[in-house]
Amino acid sequence: MAKVKGVALLSRLQMLKEHYGDDAYLKIIAALTPESRELLTGGGVISSSWYPAEVLKDLDDSIDKALKFTHPRAMEELGEMTAQMGLTTIHKLKIKTTPEETFTRVPQLWSAFHDTGDLEIETQPGRAAFRVKGYGMPHRTFCRNLIGWANKMVELSGGKNVSTKETKCVCNGDDCCEMVVTWD
């Protein structure tokens, strides 16, 4: 069973409240399964502990369902906020002056938050392919979140006019989830 770190869950909840407000937060919490709701609102999630990845999937799906009409880019925005929060504080040493330099340091971050899968990055000048292989709980909303995260990570590394598109997804039968990032 795939697991995620508690910090991934807690930060997502924090960003929801701060960016979308209490009404949206409550709507999202209400849409969760009873098991996820109890875990996420019971005060028992610890940042450094591991939790079933199904809880993150349930949270992501609930966010998308609750916000898709008022905030259709909510998952991408949360990915951008996650990158901004993590890569300018605790993981700021991973960010370098160019995207290419940063890419050599970022793949190790995957295992800090997920106990299955790997992140590989293949680079060319002004372009990179991010590939997630072997993740135990793939879902479309998570890929959208990664698109936002990759986009912001390249911006934080000095990339301009950044654009990120999903080109492969295991949910479509592909061998990996792939996002291609381009920048000036």
What are 72-83's pLDDT values in tens digits? 999 999 999 988
Report how far apart the first and last C-alpha atoms of the chain are (Å, whole number): 40
88-104 pLDDT, tens digit per residue, is: 766 666 677 788 888 88
Q: What percent of the chain has pLDDT over 70?
A: 96
pLDDT value at residue 93? 63
Q: Write out the two tokens for 39.
A: 């875990």
| In the predicted structure, residue 149 carries a pLDDT above the cut 80 | yes
Spatial distance between the Cα atoms of 157 and 87, rounded to a whole number of angstroms: 10
**Exposure string (b/e) for 109-143, b if CB count within 10 Å is 16 or more?**
beeebbebbebebeeeeeebbbbbeebebbbbbbb
Q: Average pLDDT over the chain, rounded to whole?
A: 91
Mean pLDDT of 9-27: 93
Q: 118 pairs with which residues across the strands? A: 133
- In whole angstroms, give the CA distance from residue 147 to residue 150: 5
Average pLDDT in the 20-44 region?
Answer: 95
Q: What is the pLDDT of residue 91?
A: 64
**Mean predicted confidence (pLDDT) in 51-68:** 96
Domains located in the chain, CATH noted: 3-75 (no CATH), 95-182 (3.90.1520.10)
Q: Distances from the Cα of 52 to the Cαs of 9, 29, 173, in angstroms? A: 11, 17, 23
Give the pLDDT confidence of 120-138 residue by residue, as tens digits: 999 999 999 999 999 999 9
Radius of gyration of the chain (CA): 16
Report d(CA 55, CA 18) in Å as an integer: 21
pTM of the model: 0.89
User: Cβ(119)–Cβ(130) under 8 Å?
Assistant: yes
Q: How far apart are CA 152 and CA 100, in angstroms?
A: 14
Measuring CA to CA, which residue among 146, 136, 123, 122 is closest to residue 170? 136
As a whole number, mean pLDDT of residues 155-175 equals 95
